[in-house]
Structure 1
Amino acid sequence: MTRALSTPPVISSGSLGSSPQPVLTAFGGLLLRPWEGSDAAPFLSAYRDDEVRRWHTRRPLTEAQVLEWFDAYHQDWRRERGAHWAVAREGGEVLGRIALRGWDFDDGVADVAYWVLPAARGAGVASSALATLSAWALDEIGFHRLELDHSTRNAASCRVATKAGYRLEGVKRSAALHDDGRHDMHLHARVLGDEPAGPSRATPAGG
């Protein structure tokens, strides 16, 4: 059913899905690029890592299932529902994942999720990717507000969010179910015009 709005949409429908998903260059020699079939093995390995499993209850079990997820990711872009990137070195090594999901073009709102592989932790990979994606989404595409949440017990994710300019807005009580029970969740957000707190170079590769 079509909604009748008294205000125009913040982002015009069709402005993203009709073009290829971009590859973004990030600080530290990183690329944010669409997932490829050859990435299935490192993607699956992330969900066998205890730290990733601690915060993510939806997990692929096989490489074949990962490829189904990748296909759904590509459809999300075409249907303007979301975008999913591999965070990789320019040489191709996959270091992590970042996604911009739940696109609401009417209000200009979306939410962010990310993880990094064990070998990439503590090197600024997640905060660089988050700052780059945020600059692209806010400054180039025109989103007005980006949100992310994480368990209040996940101190590392809290540091990443803060470093990338996402202000802590409050606590969502008992908001998510993890393997060990329900967790309170921190809600962070970055709004267009906020001062970025970390590297935020978002340049299409080759640009």
Structure 2
Amino acid sequence: MPVLVVPTVPVGSLAARPQPTLTAGDDVLLRPWDLGDARAVMDAYQDSEIQRWHVRRADSLAEAEDWIAGWQGGWVTESGAHWAVVDSESDVLLGRAAVKGLEFADGTAEVAYWTVPVARGRGVCPRAVEAMASWAFEVAGFHRLDLEHAMGNTASCRVAEKTGFGVEGVRRSAWLQTDGRHDVHVHARLRSEG
């Protein structure tokens, strides 16, 4: 069946080039994941806040390596763009930033992120999300980025607000987490909003 609209983002436009490294201020980089990051990912997923809001933990290096391989493969299959957020000098892992659920026809994607405890409260996450959103709009050509978080995750809401993701509403009882069902706060940002 023929599609009657031209895709907002050309299919193949990501996989045709290497995944870029993005700058998020003088001291933070977003770089493609490496299997050598597995220990740091496993350690990050021992954090109670990451476990609480992402509903996962890594129990072995092999499991963390599998996740990383999946994140790397997202670029090749054009299903997601996942970055390690690292200190630009030491390459120490500070967090993760991703655009996933890529819809090329509509030009939409979802934003995901977390930071390790030592990186929290330093503006790392907002800078990473801003760098990633700028890339998604200006380079990749996406039209809309969605950002959702559990209503109780006030830190994630602050990141959304600081990076210009306007509130659009609430999805009631949308996510099951370890402590029960949560309402989800819906934010979005359009390319026309910068």
1:204 corresponds to which residue? Answer: none
Deviations 1:83-110 (CA, angstroms, capped at 9, x unpaired)? 1100001121110001110100000000
Alpha-carbon distance in 2 for matches of 1:126, 1:162: 12
Instruction: Quote the offset at 1:58 in angstroms.
Output: 3.0
Instruction: Quote the offset at 1:39 in angstroms.
Output: 1.1
Q: Is residue 174–residue 182 contact of structure 1 (8 Å, CA) maintained in 2?
A: yes
Counterpart amino acid of residue 12 in structure 2:
G
Aligned length: 193
1:135 aligns to what SS in structure 2?
helix
Counterpart amino acid of residue 24 in structure 1:
L
Instruction: Quote the offset at 1:28 in angstroms.
Output: 4.0
What TM-score comes out, normalization by structure 1 length? Answer: 0.90
2:149 corresponds to which residue? Answer: 150
Counterpart amino acid of residue 167 in structure 1:
G
Alpha-carbon distance in 1 for matches of 2:26, 2:177: 33
Q: Greater relative contact order: 1 or 2 (C-alpha under 8 angstroms, separation 6 or more)?
A: 1
Q: Is residue 29–residue 86 contact of structure 2 (8 Å, CA) maintained in 1?
A: yes
User: Where does structure 2 lack aligned partners over 5 or more consecutive residues?
Assistant: none
User: Where does structure 1 lack aligned partners over 5 or more consecutive residues?
Assistant: 196-207
Matches within 5 A, 1:103-118: 103-118=102-117
RMSD: 1.0
- The match for 1:57 among 55, 58, 63 is 55
Instruction: Quote the offset at 1:61 in angstroms.
Output: 1.7
1:6 corresponds to which residue? Answer: 4
Alpha-carbon distance in 2 for matches of 1:59, 1:10: 36
Bigger shift: residues 52-61 or 156-165:
52-61
1:100 corresponds to which residue? Answer: 99
Counterpart amino acid of residue 21 in structure 1:
Q
Deviations 1:19-59 (CA, angstroms, capped at 9, x unpaired)? 11111111242110011122111111111111111101133
Counterpart amino acid of residue 59 in structure 1:
R
Identity %: 47
Matches within 5 A, 1:170-185: 170-185=169-184
1:39 corresponds to which residue? Answer: 37
